[in-house]
Amino acid sequence: MEIEELYQEVILDHSRRPRNFGELPDAAVLVHGDNPACGDEIHLAVKFDAGGGLEDIKFTGSGCAISQASASLMTMKLKGKSRSEAMEMLRAFHDLVTNDAGEAPKALGDLRVMKGVQHFPQRVKCAMLPWRAVEQAFEQGAGETTVSTEPT
Amino acid sequence: MRGADYGVHKVADTTVDWKSLREDFPILREQAHGHPLIYFDSAATSQKPRAVIEALRNFYEHENANVHRGLHTLSSRATEAYEKARKRVAEYIGAPSADEIIFTRGTTESINLVAQAWGGKFIREGDVILLTEMEHHSNLVPWQLLAERTGARLRFVPVLDDGTLDLAHLPKLLTQEVKLFAFTHISNSLGTINPVAELCEKAHAVGALALVDAAQSVGHLTLNVGELGCDFMAFSGHKMCGPTGIGALYARKEILDSIPPWHGGGEMIVSVALEKSTFKKAPHRFEAGTPNIAGAIGLAAAIDYLDGIGRAAIFQHDLQLARYACDRLTELPRTRVFGPAEERGALVGFVMDAAHPHDLTTFADQYGLALRGGHHCNQPLMRRFGVSGTTRASFYFYNTKEEIDRMIEILHKAARFFK
């Protein structure tokens, strides 16, 4: 396992220049995702369309290259997706970063660059942090809340 | 600053052959990701010399039995070895009597014992426990729990930008309401060595007791509880070449005699009736159940090993490594080093603008270098310095300057990789 397999160029690029990074003033839901193990945090803002799909999604926060790139890639991928599509994507992404089971589904697109995480079990939480936040955003539908990578 | 204030006995240059000591540690021959292991995480747990590993094996092969009750040969051997270990711990920290040493699982349990058994009896609503901003969670959370239970209040000595305690503030904080001043000897994130003797004296001047968290110091420098003047000292075996799961609490005898048991069970009783029991004296009153017998024996072996090298020499060796690491870290681009410049324990915490601590430690691991990245159980302190975490390199006598040179090379690589 070479370090470049984890930190692929796309990941480094997204961590240096995260996409969809910033405030979303008319957001319906604001979710603060914390990884207490390392102090990383992501603030995810979501706007839903009439059908409950993701009309817009942005984030702020600070963290390692893995969590920042994961958030950046995720927001690009999920914009315009319905709830069921997003949750399907979440399951596929979780599989991608935790299982060494063959080819990653094509539907994941660019997210497949995160595959190297499966060789670094301590970093799975970093990769999943933004996804836990978006899951909570759907769950909640409106308002502001916090999710953590550690159950309390 | 005078060495005596820190419980540090200085020696001139020593003749210890540090490199040959590495041979005593089988694990140092390990590789990680195809590179020779560089173990810079001894502040989390130290590696174990063969002497300690052999002591554990010898106990299980020749002495294993329960202590304090069997009348057979092995039980006598085990009891004798266990109580001899207690005596050895007492000598090691300069405690007048082995009865002042309680074996625990480690620093955390030792502090919880004081918070629950002593605090439960003596702390009342309105009393103050004085702590510092640099405490490890293990010397913070037990007092928060005690404060919630009793209505006591917590106060904190602030930390200055250079990583030392703001002692100018102390008179305002250390007032008559303070019943206990609990502080760390050496900060596990900053490396700061606190002036223990001075702090204990000031605590006593207002009638408070003093507890020292010696987790990061006890294996690294010569200390003597009498000279330091502390009432309690908590430490772990595993950071000083001993096994995990064993540690000790030192407490002055008068104090131990005044506090009730905290855990009930076998070993700690004189007689038990269905409704009521009577308890042994300290230290056995505080050791309910079968203790970690092998652990205590392993800890005594670690003490013999460390004393064979000499803690004064270890302190000088580690200090030189820590200073060298601090100097060399300044060569790296946009890197901030935490903690005092001169006197410091065997560790250095830093952040590089180029990479988050977790990315840096993952990167370093690929080159066989074990660093620690994160908040180091110091979340309030990290907030104080405006960071979510740091990367920490921590050293022991088996580390070398060459390993630090290699660390700097790897960090340069990381800076280029992540920039």
In this structure, the strands spanning B269-272 and B247-251 are unpaired
**CATH top class, domain B3-48+310-413:** alpha beta
Instruction: State the pLDDT at residue B14.
Output: 57
Do A38 and B355 make contact, defined as CB atoms within 8 angstroms?
no
Neighbours of B217 (CB within 10 A): 28
pLDDT exceeds 50 at position B1: no
Q: Is B377 a catalytic residue?
A: yes
Instruction: State the pLDDT at residue B232.
Output: 98
Domains in chain B: boundaries: 3-48+310-413, 52-307
Q: Which residues touch A40 (CB under 8 Å, ≥6 apart)?
A: A34, A61, A62, A63, A64, A67, A126, A129, B356, B358, B388
Q: Please name the residue of chain A whose CA is at the shortest distance from the CA of residue B358.
A: A64
pLDDT digits over B52-105, tens only? 999 999 999 999 999 987 789 999 999 999 999 999 999 999 999 999 999 999
In this predicted complex, what is the ipTM? 0.88
Do A62 and B362 make contact, defined as CB atoms within 8 angstroms?
no
pLDDT exceeds 50 at position A1: yes
- Least CB-CB distance to B388: which of A2, A40, A122? A40
Q: Which domains does chain A have, with CATH numbers?
A: 3-148 (3.90.1010.10)
pLDDT band at B211 (very low <50, low <70, confident <90, very high): very high
What is B52-307's CATH number, 1.10.101.10, 3.40.50.720, 3.30.70.270, 3.40.640.10?
A: 3.40.640.10
pLDDT digits over B317-347, tens only? 999 999 999 999 999 999 999 999 888 999 9
Q: What is the pTM of this model?
A: 0.92
Q: Work out the percent of chain A whose per-residue pLDDT is above 90.
A: 71
Token pair recorded at residue B210: 């003093």
Amino acid identity, residue B99?
D
Mutation for testing the A interface, residue in B189, B352, B358, B361 having most A CBs under 10 Å? B358
Average pLDDT, chain A: 91
pLDDT digits over B24-61, tens only? 999 999 999 999 999 999 999 999 999 999 999 999 99
pLDDT exceeds 80 at position A129: yes
Distances (CA, A) of B162 to A95, B326, B336, B345: 46, 14, 12, 14
**In this structure, what are the phi and psi dihedrals at residue B61, rounded to the nearest 5 degrees?**
-85, -25
Instruction: State the pLDDT at residue B4.
Output: 36
pLDDT digits over B145-154, tens only? 999 999 999 9
B52-307 and B3-48+310-413 share a CATH fold: no
Name the one residue in this structure whose structure tokens are 């052959």: B17
Query: E strands, A27-118, where?
Result: 29-35, 40-48, 54-62
- Least CB-CB distance to B358: which of A3, A12, A64? A64
pLDDT digits over B259-301, tens only? 999 999 888 889 898 889 999 999 999 999 999 999 999 999 9
Mutation for testing the A interface, residue in B35, B351, B362 having most A CBs under 10 Å? B362
Q: Which residues of B touch A (CB under 8 A)?
A: 33, 355-359, 362-363, 366, 373-375, 379, 382, 388-389, 417-418
Alpha carbons A76 and B44: distance in angstroms, whole number: 39
